[in-house]
A and B are shown apart, each in its own frame.
Chain A
Amino acid sequence: MSEKPAGKGGKRGAEKGIELSDRYEVYPDQSLPFLSSPGCEAVAALDKRNPSLTMFALVCTRELAPRIDAIRSLSHVESSAFLTPRASGVMTYAGDNKRRFVIVFEQPRGERVQADPSASFQPLSEDDLIRGVITPMVANLREVGGRIMAHRAIRADNIFTSGGANQEIILGECVSTPAGYYQPVIYEPIDAGMATPSGRGPGYISDDFYALGVLIAVLSHGGNPVPDLSDQEVVASKIAVGSYATLVGQARVSLKLMEALRGLLCDDPAERWNIMDLDLWANGRHLSPKQATLSAKAARTFEFDGEEYNTARGLSFAMGHNWSMAQEILRDDALEGWVRRSLADEKCASSILKASRMSRMGGEGGGGGQDKSVGGVLTALDHLAPVRYKTISARLDGLGQALAIDFEKEHVPQMISEVVRSKLHKSWIEAQPSMRPEFVPWIRQADIIEGFVNRSRIGFGAERALYECNSGWPCLSPLLKDDFVNEGGDLLPAIERLAQNRIPDFVPMDRHIAAFCATRTKNLSDRLFNQLAEPSDKLDYYISVLRLFSEMQRSVGIESLPNIARWFAKLLSPITETYHFRSFRQQLAKGIDGATTSGDLAELLWLVDNENLRQQDDAGFAQAQREFAAIAGQITWHEEGALTSDAHVANISHRASAVVSSVLASVSIAAMSLIYVT
């Protein structure tokens, strides 16, 4: 989106704003802390077409990238109870010259219902809850669900009072950070709560209904109903007694509200209330309250890490948090025996037996097999839980997002590679009681990850999997740390800016840029990346990068990139010296100057990678060497006195004598003949 520094104007005339989308101005110096979202600073903004509106902008980070697809989808929501993204784009901060992605919203008139997740507030009455919260939330969820997506940020500290007389709430934004990343564990269903924040994934609309149930519980309680429980204890409690019992417990709730709470907090997503159920309930139809569906309890407990467990889910959750001890458990058949005898789950017991044997075999050869076995056992014990592997815990739909968010964390890309290589995601699918349609894209995503991590060369690998699975994720190249590039067409201009003031000494290429190019630029051949992966020398590598960039320039349709051309002209300057013929070198230098001025990378590539010219030069050079050698031979011949040798001189002088004598005699005879005749 276009941007340019704007002058003083509007009601924020004291400072300089940065123009966004030709309509808005953003004021980075005017911070609005009360509107900041977790991980994103809020700053003032202005709608130039309607200056009476009070706007604000959220400044996003590259590491926890905004949900670009969600911004596009939700920007058309016209609801007074929803914080609709009005505009978004990348803008350059005048202070540090860094480029940041900002999203512009209209400021809600009221305040946050809960200042922060741990804050307490005046509980809402049932009437206020139904009229002020549930009714607008139903409309919001209808809007969000209709776009085949989930909000994933429904929580008390992300809703605002409308400030008007009707006391309806306004649902806050959900697009500035990855889905569900900052959602407190109490708002997450059991499986998402078990996952790490990065592995929660985009989720489903059923997650939003669950979060709405938690929101009602929090609002009716006046704060977190379980403030003393840690995240792990909250999940363990939900597993043990169910979400409703954990979050509502013995609190006094009206029958009507209890009905909704039980339906929304149902731990089985298939049984959980949906928009139709809420509509019916809101219209006065009474539905039978859902009863918590708890895991089967074992006849006797199983001891793990000093604790007694009587459900497979509870044990699985605990084992997932103590990986090394879980490996120990699989060294004998005790777990298998407990599942078979105490839980009477033959299928699960068989899976554990198989995994235990694999673990014991793997233990002799190395740890990889053991880890895979533990992952398999955890899934067998709790098929609803996320895929777990060492410190990774991600829902199937969250694998790609976990890769993106935790890419810079040590070993995470490696561990996610191991998950897909070990086929743990397939084990998870097989463990499900039935195949559901929503699994299909996530299986395909896991297959994409597997396909790319198995190819380690540049342009592929975990980086490629990251960008393939996260369509709006910005390029994480360290070279672009001060920029925000999330579209293929923005990459070359970003690199162009890098060389604006000074041409760096390094080549503008790394594994992230290569993978980003491969994913976000159409019609780029794999051949370009193969050449990048197998350069014969440094100059060949530079040429391969230039070839890739020139293809991108053509594909994206950018006419001139003079800074990049200058950059490559500098890097490839030694190439002119590889030509022998002075005239070629001069022509090449002149041509490179021309291509640099025009910013045409294809022309520059043609000059530095001209096979025809190279062949001519090589052939000419070989000919010149032969000529030089021949001349050197002639000089030696002369210097050795070949022409002045006695034999040569005698030979020449004898011939010359005969010729001179013959001519002289002929002249004499002719003269005498003339004398005698006359």
Chain B
Amino acid sequence: MATDTEKSNKMTWILLAIPTSAVLLPTCLLLLVLMLPTMVAFIVDGSRGRKFVITVGMMNLAGTVPAIVDLWGQGQTFQAAFDGMSNIFAWAGALMASGVGWLIFWVMPPIIANYQGIASRAQVLSLRAKQKKLIADWGDEVAAVVAEPYQQDAAETEEEAESES
């Protein structure tokens, strides 16, 4: 549930966005149209962190930069904005950049899975070495204990649970 502070922050952003969009209306219109892939990602990504939206959105934003620069070069008129919307290269830039974002999001899990596997095995080796040293220092009796269940940081665990949901 959003707190009062969060509501107040949202309101501040909205109040700032209205005059800005009024001043930069052609730019905003062009951005709104060219950021269409991000909006699709927003609809698809239902998770709380919205990492997919961020991934696609950042690349999408980078892809719209040439069209925005063109708009500003033509004096930020509505005509120039509509020209930008119908410019195939502007669309190509925005969509390709968004595609790179999609690609990043798609290839990252196997890379991370591999990395985590290697890291986990290395960690186990390191922990076993520590155990051997303890046995060497304190004798075999030190191992006559029941393993304590390992808990990661609470926040991390919570986050994982949320991402699973």
Contacts and interface: CB of A to CB of B under 8 A. Distances in A.
Asked whether A and B interact, the reply is yes
Interface of A: 580-583, 620-621, 624-639, 641-644, 647-658, 660-662, 664-666, 668-669, 672-673, 676
B56 A661 contact: yes
A637 B111 CA distance: 21
Nearest to A649: B113
Given A638-B124, A665-B58, A650 B100 contact: no
Contacts of A653: 108-109, 111-113
A583 B134 CA distance: 12
9 contacts: A582-B139, A624-B137, A630-B150, A639-B124, A647-B160, A652-B116, A656-B112, A664-B58, A668-B62
B146 A629 contact: yes
Interface residues of B, number: 57
A634 B108 contact: no
Contact of A655 (B51, B119, B128, B136): B51
Given A621-B142, A661-B56, A629 B147 contact: yes
Contacts of A651: 159-160, 163
B65 A643 contact: no
Given A644-B116, A647-B163, A580 B108 contact: no
B69 to A, nearest CB: 5
Given A633-B149, A662-B54, A643 B119 contact: yes
B104 to A, nearest CB: 5
Among A624, A657, A662, the most chain B Cβ lie within 10 Å of the Cβ of A657
B116 A661 contact: no
Contact of B61 (A624, A639, A650, A665): A665
Contacts of B116: 643-644, 648-649, 652
Given A660-B104, A669-B61, 15 more contacts: A581-B137, A582-B139, A624-B137, A628-B145, A631-B131, A632-B147, A635-B147, A647-B164, A649-B116, A653-B113, A656-B108, A664-B104, A666-B58, A669-B62, A673-B65
Contact of A634 (B146, B150, B160): B150
Given A657-B104, A657-B108, A661-B56, A650 B163 contact: yes
Contacts of A637: 149-150
B139 A580 contact: yes
B150 A661 contact: no
Contacts, number: 166
B113 A644 contact: yes
Contact of B59 (A628, A661, A676): A661
A647 B164 CA distance: 6
Interface string B90-133: 00000001001100110011011100110111011001101100
A636 B147 contact: yes
Nearest to B147: A632
Nearest to A673: B65
Contacts of A634: 123, 127, 150
Contacts of B108: 653-654, 656-657, 660
B56 A668 contact: no
Nearest to A577: B139
Contacts of B119: 643
A580 B142 contact: yes
A661 B127 contact: no
A636 B121 CA distance: 12
Contacts of A656: 108, 112
A581 to B, nearest CB: 6
A668 B116 CA distance: 29
B138 interface: yes
A625 B150 contact: no
A624 to B, nearest CB: 5
Contacts of A658: 49, 51, 54-55, 58
A654 B108 CA distance: 8
Contacts of B54: 658, 661-662
Contacts of A660: 55, 104, 108
Contact of A631 (B69, B105, B130): B130
A650 B45 CA distance: 13
Closest 3 CB pairs of A and B: A632-B147, A654-B51, A665-B58
Contacts of B146: 629
A399 B164 CA distance: 95
B131 A632 contact: yes
Contacts of B120: 638, 641-644
B55 A635 contact: no
B55 A657 contact: yes
A616 to B, nearest CB: 12
A228 B150 CA distance: 101
A638 B139 contact: no
B58 A662 contact: yes
Nearest to B111: A653
B104 A661 contact: yes
Contacts of B136: 582
Contacts of B6: none
B127 to A, nearest CB: 5
A661 B137 contact: no
A498 B142 CA distance: 41
Nearest to A676: B69
A653 B55 CA distance: 11
